[in-house]
């Protein structure tokens, strides 16, 4: 079912071994650009037209009303409310540990330096919706923003054909403290967040995953507005040895594959007998799976088994793939943590399925995909703040550093930079400017 690769010491995985499908198709980019241009020109009218075209929903008000939220709270059972509250507490606790602090320092020469941390004023979070619902995505995007101190959080979610938002999504928004919710999805929602309409004010940054058109739109508006990342298909890598239970490996691969036919699944193992056992277990589990067809297609199209000669080769393979989710189902998984360089989230041991990270553990489930874990991090509080450098020089401090500034400025041919120092020193000390005019001309 899954494609197999054998790796001996001395051979490394290549990009051809594990092709990624995370790129944005040029046709999708073109469609997204046309939608963005239309929303910029026609505003709310375009949002309504696209909701009818793509979501089959005829919208009145674009914003979710207080009455709709009250109806959602009444429609959802207490078990769900308790679960979403429990998850919210864990997510908030984890992210509060990430809050960056401003800092300042003064040296003996009277130079005051520091860094000022300021929350973003207004952010837009995108939550997939329509026929599906992802209340966990509401929590993962909104709670770090709340913890960071963001003043205004707007949420966009596609409506169902009835023009309403799934009640589970609305209840999660209430739990997270989101009060501004819009029934808009797709590239049109990203355009509204980036440029504003009569109903939706523009934001400073957009976060949250979506389909290919949402991702394309985020790419196109980046620079006019901040974004978190360009999310591709979801992926998991299970790193396993002979101690791994085949049934647990199988169900964890399936749990990722059920997201989407484009989802990527990797089994990297030092046990040559494990892949057959895992595939047998998958076959048995698929018999009563309601998403069997999606899972089967995902595993066949994007599933890869890498059989490695030893643990070092296996770790190299895992780091080369740089997966979104990395499960370590090996003896003494904690001892291997230091050797794992590239992963969005790391799950250690057989009792830590990726699904606990999706919902209740606390770490964010908005993670780098497509190998970008080599240089990117999960969504976090840092994504909702900005940092400003702070500088204040005394006269003595300027006098001490002034000659260094002038030397470098003149070497770069920036004479006014040098004079910004020399003029100040001349005024302070009542002397002529001490700057080499010949060197400045050169």
Residues classed as catalytic: 324-325
Q: Round to whole Å and give the CA distance between 355 and 351.
A: 11
Using an 8 Å Cβ cutoff, are 175 and 84 in contact? yes
Joined together, the tokens standing for residue 153 give: 């959080």
Which uninterrupted H or E stretch holds 236?
strand 235-240
Reported as half-sphere exposure (CB side, CA atoms, 13 A), residue 103 has a value of: 4
Kindly state the DSSP code that residue 199 receives in the 8-state scheme: S
Joined together, the tokens standing for residue 372 give: 């970008």
Q: Which residues lie below 8 Å from residue 38, measured CB to CB, with a gap of 6+?
A: 46, 50, 188
Q: Round to whole Å and give the CA distance between 323 and 14.
A: 15
In the numeric block, the tokens 């120092």 are attached to 421
Joined together, the tokens standing for residue 100 give: 């960056």
Q: Round to whole Å and give the CA distance between 53 and 160.
A: 12
Q: Which residues lie below 8 Å from residue 429, measured CB to CB, with a gap of 6+?
A: none
In degrees rounded to 5, what are phi and psi of residue 98? -95, -10
Ordered strands of the 345-348 beta sheet: 3-7, 303-308, 264-269, 235-240, 325-329, 345-348
In degrees rounded to 5, what are phi and psi of residue 378? -65, 160
Q: Round to whole Å and give the CA distance between 221 and 213.
A: 12
Q: Round to whole Å and give the CA distance between 251 and 82.
A: 26
Joined together, the tokens standing for residue 351 give: 């009792």
Closest CA to 410 of 427, 434, 432: 434
Using an 8 Å Cβ cutoff, are 318 and 239 in contact? yes
In degrees rounded to 5, what are phi and psi of residue 386? -130, 155
For 2-121, where are the E strands, in sequence order? 3-7, 103-106, 112-119
Beta bridge partners of 404: none
Using an 8 Å Cβ cutoff, are 168 and 76 in contact? yes
């Amino acid at each position: 079912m899954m494609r197999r690769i054998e790796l001996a010491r001395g051979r490394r995985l290549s990009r051809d071994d594990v092709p990624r499908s995370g790129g944005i198709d040029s046709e999708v980019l073109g469609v997204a650009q046309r939608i963005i241009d239309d929303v910029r020109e026609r505003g709310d009218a375009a949002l309504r037209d696209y909701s009818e075209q793509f979501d089959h929903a005829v919208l009145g008000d674009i914003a979710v009303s207080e009455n709709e939220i009250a109806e959602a709270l009444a429609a959802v059972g207490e078990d769900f409310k308790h679960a979403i509250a429990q998850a919210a507490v864990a997510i908030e606790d984890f992210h509060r540990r990430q809050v960056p602090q401003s800092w300042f320092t003064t040296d003996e020469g009277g130079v005051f330096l520091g860094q000022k941390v300021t929350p973003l004023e207004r952010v837009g979070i995108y939550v997939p919706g329509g026929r599906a619902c992802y209340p966990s995505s509401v929590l993962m995007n909104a709670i770090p923003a709340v913890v960071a101190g963001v003043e205004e959080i707007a949420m966009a979610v596609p409506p169902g054909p009835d023009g309403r938002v799934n009640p589970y999504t609305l209840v999660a928004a209430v739990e997270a403290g989101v009060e501004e919710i819009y029934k808009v999805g797709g590239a049109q929602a990203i355009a509204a967040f980036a440029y504003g309409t009569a109903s939706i004010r523009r934001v400073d940054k957009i976060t949250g995953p979506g389909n290919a058109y949402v991702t394309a739109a985020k790419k196109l508006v980046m620079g006019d507005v901040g974004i978190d990342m360009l999310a591709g298909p979801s992926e998991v890598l299970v790193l396993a040895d002979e101690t791994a239970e085949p049934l647990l490996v199988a169900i964890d691969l399936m749990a990722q594959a059920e997201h989407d036919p484009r989802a990527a699944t990797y089994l990297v193992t030092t046990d040559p007998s494990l892949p057959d056992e895992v595939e047998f277990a998958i076959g048995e589990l698929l018999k009563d799976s309601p998403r069997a067809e999606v899972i089967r297609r995902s595993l066949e199209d994007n599933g890869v088994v890498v059989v490695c000669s030893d643990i070092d080769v296996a770790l190299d393979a895992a780091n080369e793939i740089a997966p979104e989710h990395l499960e370590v189902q090996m003896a003494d998984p904690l001892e291997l943590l230091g050797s794992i360089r590239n992963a969005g989230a790391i799950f250690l041991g057989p009792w830590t399925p990726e699904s606990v990270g999706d919902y209740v553990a606390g770490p964010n489930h908005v993670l780098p995909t497509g190998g970008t874990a080599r240089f990117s991090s999960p969504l976090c509080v840092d994504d909702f703040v900005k940092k400003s450098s702070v500088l204040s020089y005394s006269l003595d401090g300027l006098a001490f550093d002034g000659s260094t500034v002038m030397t470098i400025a003149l070497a770069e041919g920036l004479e006014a930079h040098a004079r910004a120092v020399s003029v100040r020193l001349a005024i302070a000390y009542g002397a002529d400017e001490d700057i080499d005019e010949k060197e400045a001309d050169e």
